[in-house]
Amino acid sequence: MVMHMPKAGAEPLRYPSSKPAFPELFKGLANDGKRWLEAELALTKAEAGLRLRSYAAGLAIAFVALALLIAASVVLAQACVVALLPYVSGPGIAGLAVGLSLLLIVAMLALFAKSLLLSKKRPVGVVFRWLAGNMSESGAK
Q: What is the pLDDT of residues 93-107, one digit of tens each?
A: 999 999 999 999 999
Per-residue CA distances from 17 to 14, 24, 47 (Å): 9, 13, 45
In a domain, 86, yes or no: yes
Q: What is the pLDDT of residues 6-34, one digit of tens each?
A: 566 556 555 556 666 788 888 999 999 99
pTM exceeds 0.75 for this model: no
In a domain, 13, yes or no: no
In a domain, 94, yes or no: yes
Domain count, the chain: 1
In a domain, 15, yes or no: no
DSSP string, the chain: ---PPPPTTPPPP---TTSPPHHHHHHHHHHHHHHHHHHHHHHHHHHHHHHHHHHHHHHHHHHHHHHHHHHHHHHHHHHHHHHHGGGSSSHHHHHHHHHHHHHHHHHHHHHHHHHHHH------SHHHHHHHT-TTS-TT-
In a domain, 112, yes or no: yes
- Residue numbers of the domain that contains 60: 22-119
In a domain, 97, yes or no: yes
In a domain, 135, yes or no: no
In a domain, 9, yes or no: no
Res. 136: pLDDT tops 80: no
DSSP string, 32-65: HHHHHHHHHHHHHHHHHHHHHHHHHHHHHHHHHH
